[in-house]
């Protein structure tokens, strides 16, 4: 068993996880900003139909910090969080960045700031 895999019902999503299952919001935003809209759209189109199953699976675990989850569940959570990061790019802006938005390079989430 590899600790970089996803839980059994979601192993088909491993190609997405290899790119998008990133541990921090900053990393996920950087991935979105460095991806083409075609890549973002492909991620969205593949994961959206599976999100209900993903969230149902993740809801079987106690609401604890991500590092308390088993590794496979944690990677699946990171994949779901990546979906949250890219949804507005697809549904609202049709581009990776937010038009006339705050420079994402300047934004460091508080929960990540304390880890540095």
Question: Domains of the chain: which residue ranges?
Answer: 9-113
pTM score, whole prediction? 0.81
H helix runs in the chain, sequence order: 14-20, 25-34, 37-47, 51-58, 71-88, 110-113
Q: Tell me what pLDDT residue 65 has.
A: 85
The phi, psi pair for 59, rounded to 5°, reads -70, -10
Q: What is the pLDDT along the chain (116 residues), one digit of tens a residue?
A: 445 699 999 999 999 999 999 999 989 999 999 999 999 999 999 999 999 999 999 999 998 888 899 999 999 999 999 999 998 888 887 777 776 565 556 555 555 655 54
State the Cα–Cα distance between residues 26 and 80, nearest whole angstrom: 15
Task: Give the residue among 45, 55, 41, 43 at the shortest CA–CA distance from 7.
Answer: 55
Between vectors from CA 15 to CA 72 and to CA 50, what angle results, nearest 5°? 70
State the Cα–Cα distance between residues 95 and 35, nearest whole angstrom: 10
């Amino acid at each position: 068993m590899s600790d970089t895999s996803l839980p059994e019902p979601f192993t088909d999503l491993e190609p997405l996880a290899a790119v998008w299952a990133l541990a921090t919001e900053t990393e996920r935003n950087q991935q979105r900003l460095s991806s083409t809209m075609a890549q973002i759209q492909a991620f969205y189109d593949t994961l959206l139909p599976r999100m209900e199953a993903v969230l149902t699976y993740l809801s079987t675990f106690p609401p604890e910090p991500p590092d308390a989850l088993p590794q496979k569940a944690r990677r699946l959570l990171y994949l779901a969080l990546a979906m949250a990061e890219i949804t507005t790019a697809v549904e609202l802006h049709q581009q990776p960045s937010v038009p006339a938005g705050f420079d994402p390079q300047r934004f460091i989430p508080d929960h990540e700031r304390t880890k540095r």
